Structure 1
């Protein structure tokens, strides 16, 4: 992976952790997730006049990704009801790279060297280690948390592969990203209207500033990742993007007052070792 791609994916990881932290602050996490995605869609909508219209072969992947994002937002919000940011986030984000790596080899023809595979496994191991202990005196993993987090990971793997395929077939990652977010925002708005009623949008109004900030971060983070997946193997981008757990840990400790036990510090070192292997081998 080239250095510019590497650095941009790390930047995307920081942005991704930022908007996920907003899910923990919101009273209704599904509504908060939906607000962020709708706001991202509005930002993307403003950019549509400046990007090309996607090729016909890209549209099925845009549609599939938008549907998978519904499941992702739903299960991520549910997972946060059972655990703190420092526990849910590593489980959900850390489990997806292995699924992505396996499916990318089988479906996309991506190939990893032995060194890259070793780095990916070390990085994922560090992410899982970070979730061993929950915050606020909790330890271990309850069944509800684990189930929701793993379902979230499955949806992440699904939309990651869909968007990698779609962006590559489109030949223009920026165009694909902007149209994806515009469609995704419209789909999430429709889901809210159908499941919660149109009056729910009035509840979102007072939170538009946080939603817009989270939406902009979400748009920037995933647009970078989509572009990176057209430049490097999907599995490597997916794994490196999950270094966002380090930024999530920092946000959780400084802003949400979640504890920082020694085992999580050890996990940070393991993740850093995995990143070094990915970069140097």
Structure 2
């Protein structure tokens, strides 16, 4: 992986960790995720006059990605309702790069090198181990585990859709803009169907958070999609999950949460994975 791509994806991972920390507002998780998607769509709508309209062959990937992202959001919310966020989130995110790598190999014959395979394995191991820091997977019920792995499946699906779609688009920026508009629109319609018009005033009261979080999330994933045009999809997906490490740093340095042995060991594994991916 080239130094430019490597550095860009690490910056994207840091952005991912920051917006996750910003989402800690007094809203239920469904409203928070809908607000983030709406913020991403709004920022993209502003940028849309300055990018090309995607060719028709790109739209199936955009629609597929947007559909998979709805499944991802709904499963993630269900997983959070069934289990502890500190355990569910790393479990869901940690297994996704492995599924993405397998999918890229099976569907588009993408072969990661030995260093990339090692980096992906270390990052997956580190992020999954991070979920053990709360006392072990025995504290997660079967429903939480099922939803966490369902979440990782949808993450892998939309990552593969975007990795292929962005390579067909005129530019990564164009693809990202129209994906975010599509996803934001579908998310808002889904919210109205599931929660009714009453959700709109709740979202309106926190529009500043939506714009801030949406902007960071859009920038983070936009960088990742650009990187997937230059590097293996699985490697980019794995490196992006180093956001778990940045989230740990934020929680320890700013939220005064304890480090603990599990988190330290998991952090070492993630750093090892980052180094291996840099050598790939």
Under TM normalisation by the shorter chain, which class is it? over 0.9
- Tell me: CA distance 1:146–1:163, structure 2 relative to 1, closer, same or farther (3 Å): same
The residue that corresponds to 1:48 in the other structure is 48
CA distance in 2, matches of 1:247, 1:139: 26
The residue that corresponds to 2:11 in the other structure is 11
Map 1:53-92 → 2, pairs under 5 A: 53-92=53-92
Cα distance, 1:115 vs. partner?
Answer: 2.2
The residue that corresponds to 2:120 in the other structure is 120
* TM-score, normalising length: structure 2: 0.94
* TM-score, normalising length: structure 1: 0.94
Cα RMSD (Å) of the superposition? 1.9
Cα distance, 1:146 vs. partner?
Answer: 1.4
Cα distance, 1:83 vs. partner?
Answer: 4.1
- Tell me: CA distance 1:76–1:254, structure 2 relative to 1, closer, same or farther (3 Å): farther
CA distance in 2, matches of 1:63, 1:147: 25
CA distance in 2, matches of 1:64, 1:248: 29
CA distance in 2, matches of 1:251, 1:80: 21
Task: Work out whether residues 9 and 240 of structure 1, in 8 Å CA contact, stay in contact via their aligned partners in 2.
Answer: yes
Cα distance, 1:237 vs. partner?
Answer: 0.2
Q: Deviations over 1:144-203 (max 9, x none)?
A: 321221111011000000011111111311100000001111111101111111221011
**Ranges of 4+ aligned residues in structure 1 off by more than 6 Å:** none
CA distance in 1, matches of 2:179, 2:125: 31
The residue that corresponds to 2:178 in the other structure is 179
Task: Work out whether residues 43 and 215 of structure 2, in 8 Å CA contact, stay in contact via their aligned partners in 1.
Answer: yes
Unpaired segments ≥5 residues, structure 1? none
Unpaired segments ≥5 residues, structure 2? none
Cα distance, 1:12 vs. partner?
Answer: 0.7
Map 1:103-252 → 2, pairs under 5 A: 103-134=103-134, 140-252=139-251
Task: Work out whether residues 87 and 134 of structure 1, in 8 Å CA contact, stay in contact via their aligned partners in 2.
Answer: yes
Paired residue secondary structure (2:27): coil
Aligned length in residues: 280
Task: Work out whether residues 23 and 32 of structure 2, in 8 Å CA contact, stay in contact via their aligned partners in 1.
Answer: yes
- Tell me: CA distance 1:129–1:16, structure 2 relative to 1, closer, same or farther (3 Å): same
Task: Work out whether residues 132 and 139 of structure 1, in 8 Å CA contact, stay in contact via their aligned partners in 2.
Answer: no
Cα distance, 1:87 vs. partner?
Answer: 2.0
Report whether the alignment pairs 1:37 with 2:28.
Answer: no
Cα distance, 1:233 vs. partner?
Answer: 0.4
Cα distance, 1:260 vs. partner?
Answer: 2.7
- Tell me: CA distance 1:188–1:255, structure 2 relative to 1, closer, same or farther (3 Å): farther
The residue that corresponds to 1:97 in the other structure is 97
Cα distance, 1:107 vs. partner?
Answer: 0.9
Cα distance, 1:84 vs. partner?
Answer: 4.3
CA distance in 2, matches of 1:242, 1:147: 20
CA distance in 2, matches of 1:133, 1:242: 17
CA distance in 2, matches of 1:2, 1:262: 33
